Amino acid sequence: MKIEPVAHHSLAETVTAKIAASLLDGSLKAGLQLPPERDLITRLDISRATLREALKALEENKLIESRPGVGWFACAIDEGNMTQARELASIVAPPQNGRPANSEPGTGPRRIPTSPEKPIHIPNLRTDRLGTFEFISWWEKDKVHDARVLVVGAGALGNEVIKNLALMGVGNLFIVDFDNIEAANLSRSVLFRETDNKRSKAEVAAARAKSINPDINVQYLNGDVTAALGLGIIRRMDVIIGCLDNREARLAVNRFCYWMNKPWVDGAIQELLGLARVFVPGQGACYECTLTEQALRDLSLRYSCPLLARANILLGKVPTTPTIASIIGGIQSQEALKLIHSMPVEPGKVIHFNGLNNEMHTTAYVPREDCESHWTYGEIVELPARAERTTLDDLLRIARADLGRDAMIELDQELITALECPTCHTIEAVLRPLSQVTFEAAHCPTCGLLRESTLTHVITGDENFLHRTLASVGIPALHILRANNGEEYRFYELTGDLAEALHFKHFTKTDTADSTQPRGHVHLKGPAPAPAAAVKLKLHGRVKLRN
């Protein structure tokens, strides 16, 4: 038996080795500038002193050079420094195993595995619109054709993403947006025309995607993702792309995707700055992990006056340009394409792009142990029930049969049961989802003061409105509802809605130009998700995913 000596290396030596390895395998090319020191410190998770020590060693071996006032640059590898580079790199890539050294994620391109079983196929470029993609070694036509992608938001980013997905032949697109087109959108939205004024963004974007590529299937929903999109739709998607402009909607999408165990690609733009990031449940940080304590506090403050919060979101407009939308929307579309191909992505990391100095860098977020989003639904029971026909009482009876008399239903969004004026002492019974009550409507008709709303999100069986349908209390078609008895969770899908809620058949050739209403959909306008006390309880049926 041969005992190998255990090698001990300092952190600085390891960092030196990683950078040397990047030079050797070509992922760090000669003449390229290294990321700024502060980025390297964050990315490699080391101190400034360690980094300096590593850089000094690399400089002494003529592998990098300093240009005062500018930064560090990679030197060309030649006979003069090849031996030193190999020696330094040997820590992370022992030469005896013959594998090329892999650089730190984010510092160089990952090698893309080619699909070994890909049949040789010569496309006819005159007749096959997707023919050129056949020449891409890893492109799998069927995967792209069969993919189901949900695009949330059809603004500047959404337009770019939808255009890209349609061009690439991503076979099934579902587009959600609650907004209508106005003149100011025309400067940033390739899919919109002047004649589209006041039309639904989701509808027009879907129609244009279909005209870009008639071979794809499209569907749209003119509604707010936080309230109007059934979880059963997310459950049946391969990738979700967020093209949103506010935290509330991102937080909602993040939770829905976590619950359904789906990857999502977020993008954000402002002026010439942008970022893109992929979140995969259980792999690194999620969107909620990236929020600071302050941001989370702001969000909960908003929830305390949710009607006002919604009014503010609708007012908030972020200045953007079509150019940064193309860049970030392009990255998002590519990340989605990689997810469709099961290619490696870097979940929980953010790609920052600064158009002012054209700097691009990647940083990893730290997952939060106590993050409330980290839950995934257990087994989902598919009921033949429909949101428009099933009552709260019907669902409660099903839940009680499974979970006993203590079963209760948790709603994802708050239900306003009453509005009370503190001055006039009048109480108006309401029973409408928060998302359907406007800020204006919440004011007292007599004195004009904002009334206090009584909210609930749990149905225990004691309510006097159990005869109401699920749709009437704001539950969207094909939603998945949670019930629990204090010990265990059950999840019920309104699968009876499936055929109408998810069909990808808008703008098919048989459609007339203006048959635009998605039949069977409840049109909701809506705000803040209130994922309730549920996330606090650690009960059976919900699976806690560890990062």
Give yes or no for residue 114 binding Zn ion (CB under 5 A). no
Q: How near is the Cβ of 261 to Zn ion at its closest, in Å?
A: 14
Integer Cα distance of 231 and 225 in angstroms: 10
Q: How near is the Cβ of 428 to Zn ion at its closest, in Å?
A: 10
Q: What is the CA angle 329-335-338, rounded to 5?
A: 145
- Nearer to Zn ion by C-beta: 421 or 480? 421
Query: For residue 321, what are the contacts with CB-CB under 8 A and spacing of at least 6?
Result: 188, 269, 271, 272
Q: How near is the Cβ of 72 to Zn ion at its closest, in Å?
A: 34
Q: In what order do the strands lie in the sheet with 239-242?
A: 217-222, 172-177, 148-152, 239-242, 264-270, 273-279, 349-354, 359-364
> Which range touches Zn ion (CB under 5 A), out of 232-240, 287-295, 515-523, 529-537?
287-295
> Which range touches Zn ion (CB under 5 A), out of 160-168, 203-211, 225-233, 437-445?
437-445
Give yes or no for residue 446 binding Zn ion (CB under 5 A). yes
Give yes or no for residue 290 binding Zn ion (CB under 5 A). no
Contact present, 532 and 408 (Cβ < 8 Å): no
Q: How near is the Cβ of 141 to Zn ion at its closest, in Å?
A: 35
Q: How near is the Cβ of 544 to Zn ion at its closest, in Å?
A: 11
Q: How near is the Cβ of 449 to Zn ion at its closest, in Å?
A: 5
Integer Cα distance of 59 and 80 in angstroms: 13
Q: How near is the Cβ of 285 to Zn ion at its closest, in Å?
A: 6
Give yes or no for residue 33 binding Zn ion (CB under 5 A). no
Q: How near is the Cβ of 376 to Zn ion at its closest, in Å?
A: 12
The one-letter code for the residue type at 143 is: K
Burial label for 208, CB within 10 Å (0-12, 13-18, 19+), is buried
> From residue 268, how far is each of 39, 106, 206, 528 by CA, in Å?
20, 20, 21, 19
Strands (E), 425-529: 427-433, 452-459, 480-484, 489-494
- Nearer to Zn ion by C-beta: 82 or 366? 366
Count CB neighbours of 78 within 10 A. Answer: 10
Q: How near is the Cβ of 286 to Zn ion at its closest, in Å?
A: 3
Partners of 33 in beta bridges: 73
Give yes or no for residue 447 binding Zn ion (CB under 5 A). yes
Give yes or no for residue 421 binding Zn ion (CB under 5 A). yes
- Nearer to Zn ion by C-beta: 290 or 333? 290
- Nearer to Zn ion by C-beta: 288 or 410? 288
> Which range touches Zn ion (CB under 5 A), out of 349-357, 443-451, 469-477, 522-530?
443-451
- Select from 213, 315, 328 the least CA-distant residue to 269: 328
> Which range touches Zn ion (CB under 5 A), out of 47-55, 282-290, 412-420, 470-478?
282-290
Integer Cα distance of 340 and 240 in angstroms: 11
- Nearer to Zn ion by C-beta: 323 or 423? 423
Mask: binding to Zn ion, 484-513, rule CB under 5 A, as x and -?
------------------------------
φ, ψ for residue 61, nearest 5 deg: -95, 15
Judged by CB under 5 A, the residue of 286, 325, 327, 387 near Zn ion is 286
Integer Cα distance of 18 and 538 in angstroms: 41
Mask: binding to Zn ion, 357-396, rule CB under 5 A, as x and -?
--------------x-x-----------------------
Give yes or no for residue 442 binding Zn ion (CB under 5 A). no
Integer Cα distance of 280 and 339 in angstroms: 10
Q: Which two tokens stand for residue 291?
A: 């929020």
Which pairing describes strands 489-494 and 480-484: parallel, antiparallel, or unpaired?
antiparallel
- Nearer to Zn ion by C-beta: 421 or 522? 421
Query: For residue 76, what are the contacts with CB-CB under 8 A and spacing of at least 6?
Result: 30, 31
Give yes or no for residue 429 binding Zn ion (CB under 5 A). no
- Size of interface with Zn ion, in residues (CB under 5 A): 11
Helices 79-89, 11-24: crossing angle, 10 deg rounding: 130
Give yes or no for residue 427 binding Zn ion (CB under 5 A). no
Give yes or no for residue 295 binding Zn ion (CB under 5 A). no
> Which range touches Zn ion (CB under 5 A), out of 288-296, 435-443, 515-523, 534-542?
288-296
- Nearer to Zn ion by C-beta: 30 or 429? 429
Q: How near is the Cβ of 422 to Zn ion at its closest, in Å?
A: 8
- Nearer to Zn ion by C-beta: 102 or 283? 283
Give yes or no for residue 483 binding Zn ion (CB under 5 A). no
Give yes or no for residue 289 binding Zn ion (CB under 5 A). yes
Which pairing describes strands 427-433 and 408-420: parallel, antiparallel, or unpaired?
antiparallel
Integer Cα distance of 430 and 118 in angstroms: 59
Burial label for 443, CB within 10 Å (0-12, 13-18, 19+), is middle
Give yes or no for residue 423 binding Zn ion (CB under 5 A). yes
Contact positions vs Zn ion (CB under 5 A): 286, 288-289, 371, 373, 421, 423-424, 444, 446-447
